[in-house]
Amino acid sequence: MFDRQKRGDRAVLVLPHSRGEGDSLRRAEEFAELVKSAGAEVLGVINARVEDPNPRYYIGSGKANEVAEAARALEADLVLVDHLLTPVQERNLEKHLGVRVVDRAGLILDIFAQRARSHEGKLEVELAQLKHLATRLVRGWTHLDAQRGGAIGNRGPGETQLETDRRLLGERVKQLTKRLEKVQVQRGQQRRSRLRNTVPRVALVGYTNAGKSTLFNALTTGDVYAADLLFATLDPTVRKLENLSCGPAVIADTVGFIRELPHDLVAAFRATLAEARDADLLLHVSDAADEERERLHGVVDKVLEEIDAGDVPQLHVMNKIDLAGAEPRIERDGTGKPVRVWLSAGTGVGLELLRQALGELLGGDRVQAPLHLPLSAGRLHARLKAAGAISSETIDEHGWQLLIDAPRSVIAPLSGGDANEAQLLRELLAVAE
C-alpha cells in the first residue's frame, strides 16, 4: 500500500464518456465547476472513452497508465474521476496511481461537508460520509492513520472517525442516526406548527447554481449566501413571503440538485428536503440562458420523485433573462393558470409578475363572506385570525361579526376536528359559492 499524503488539492481530472453520450461537454464543464467549488487546483484533464467498464480500474489499464504518468509528471497528489467508482475500483486505482483517488460521489460529499452550517446539516453530511466510507473499509484499510480530514474527499468526519474500524464506525453511524432523528422531530414540530397556521408553503427547487438563493433574497429581502458556485448554500432557510394577493405565505430555500447525487446523501437529507415534499407549491427555478435547461428539469424531477415530492404542484421560474435576452412575462396554460414566469432575480425585472402568479396559484378560489361566530367559538376565531382570513370584525354580547376574505384552501381545514366549528365553516363555504 502506498504512503498517502497528509493532504493535497492539486488534482488531475479524469472524464470518462461513452460514444453515445451526447452531453459529455456539459458534463465536463459541470465536473470542473464541482472541482472549483471543492477548492482544488486543476493541473490537467484526461478524457477516457469507456464503452465496457473495466472491472479493475473502470477506465481500462492503458488509460490508467496514462493517468499515472500525468500524475507523476504534474506532481499531482489527487485524481478526481467523474464517475461513481466501486470500492474495489477506487482502491485498485489508488494502488496503481500512487495518489489519492476520489470519485464523483466523494467529491460531492466533500463539498457538502464544506457548506453545511446548521447542526442538522452537519449531522446529515457526516452520516452520509460515514456510510460512503463504510463500503471502503476493507482488509488493509482498517486504520487509515495517515489520512487526515481537510483535503478533498476527507472532510467531514475527520481524523478520529477515519481511524476507527468497522465496528466503531457502525456505532458512530447508529449514534448519528439517533441524534438526527431527534433533530428531525424538532423540525417536524416546527413544520406542523406552520401547517396548523394554514399559511401557504412555497419551496424553491432547481438544479444547483440556477439562482435559487438570489431569488429567495430578492423575494424576502433575506441574507442567504449566494455565489456562482455549485451548492453555494446547503441548509434550508425559511422566511415569510408578503405582499401577495392571497395573503402571507412562507418560502423555503432548499439545496440545489445535481445529476448522480449520491444515494446516501439523498437519504440523509430527506429531513432537509422535506421542505419541498410538504410544500403547497414548488418554484422550479431554471437558468433561462442554459441551452440544456429542459434536460436539467428532468434531473430535478427525478430527485423530487426520490423524496416523494413528485406530485407537488410546480411553477417554473425562468431566471437570468438578462443573460438570455428574453422579456419578462407570465406563460399560462389553456385554463389561464400560470405555469411559467420569466424574470431576472439579479436585476429584479419580472419579480412582480412572479408575485402575481404566486397570488393566483396560492389563492385559488377566494372566500369573501360575512361570518357570525358565537363567543364559545373562541378557538376558531383565533385560527381565522392567525391565518389572516379576517378582513374586519366587531364584537358584542352575541359574539363576533366577521368579514372573511381568504383562499378557500385556507378556510377549509381550520375547524381543528371540532364538529360545531366544522359546521360553521361548511356554512361559510356554502354561502361563498
Q: What is the pLDDT of residue 147?
A: 45
**C-alpha span between 296 and 259 (Å, rounded):** 8
Q: 10-111 has which CATH code?
A: 3.40.50.11060
C-alpha cell of residue 328: 419578462
Query: pLDDT, tens digit, for every residue of 381-409?
Result: 988 887 778 888 999 988 999 998 776 76
Q: Which residues contact 137 (CB under 8 A, 6 or more apart)?
A: 165, 166, 169
**C-alpha span between 374 and 399 (Å, rounded):** 4
Q: What is the pLDDT of residue 142?
A: 41
- What are the residue boundaries of the structural domains of the chain, listed by start? 10-111, 199-363, 366-432
- Asked if the domains at 10-111 and 199-363 fall in one CATH topology, the answer is yes
Q: 366-432 has which CATH code?
A: 3.30.70
**C-alpha span between 127 and 156 (Å, rounded):** 9
Class of the CATH domain delimited by 199-363: alpha beta
In the predicted model, what is the mean pLDDT of the chain? 80
Query: pLDDT, tens digit, for every residue of 9-37?
Result: 899 999 998 876 656 777 888 888 888 88
Q: How far is CA 197 from CA 183, 240, 246, in A?
A: 22, 13, 15
Does the pTM of the predicted model rise above 0.85?
Answer: no
